A = this chain, B = another copy of it.
Amino acid sequence: MFRKDAGELTELEGTTLGVIGKKGECTPYAVRREFLESRSPHWSGSAGAIYPLITRLEDRGLIRVARRTADARVGKVYRLTSAGRQTLRSWLGTPVKEDLVGVPPDPLRNRVEFLLLLGKSEQRSFVHDAMTRCQEHLGRLREWEAEKERDGDLNVRLVLRGGVRMMEARLGWLGEVAQALGFAVRPASAANT
């Protein structure tokens, strides 16, 4: 969670640089809205995270105030510096860092190791509940995907598609878990191996 070298970025910092780079120029609040609205709930987009982060990036010379807006509220509009563009490229680019390649953490998967500490019927409830809720979530994702079908840009669609694939894989896996633990598996979903 920490950067080791001076050139390193945390995931939130890198993503923020990416957002600014993609928008060309924007205010801190515009960045915040990105995290509040469209992005994964993993990041809260809290003011206490974003504003100090922006200051940090500015202090490191990766972004710079491009102009001020007429609206006194908004004030500062930021842009990437060339150093910022460079840093962003190395954050994004090859060679892909080792920790990006490994299996990403998944709290649901994490719990399965300890499922044997529950009674058989509780285990069944857990797996059943997880499958149902994942299925629902997948449904919502697919609606979102259909919605973005034309308006969204290609890369956003691809990210969304990755999320859908993850959820499908999860569902297939949960089916396997159910079977291994001796529960009946309804062949309802189309997301099996």
Contact = CB atoms under 8 A, between A and B. Distances in A.
Given A113-B18, A169-B166, A129 B94 contact: yes
Interface residues of A, number: 69
Interface in A80-108: 88-89, 91-96, 98-108
A105 B166 contact: no
A75 interface: no
A137 interface: yes
Nearest to A114: B18
20 contacts: A22-B113, A22-B116, A22-B117, A40-B105, A89-B118, A89-B122, A91-B111, A92-B126, A96-B130, A100-B130, A101-B137, A109-B163, A112-B155, A112-B159, A112-B162, A115-B155, A162-B170, A162-B177, A166-B166, A166-B169
Interface of A: 11, 14-15, 18, 21-22, 40-42, 88-89, 91-96, 98-118, 122, 125-126, 129-130, 133-134, 136-137, 141, 153-156, 158-159, 161-163, 165-170, 172-173, 176-177, 180-181
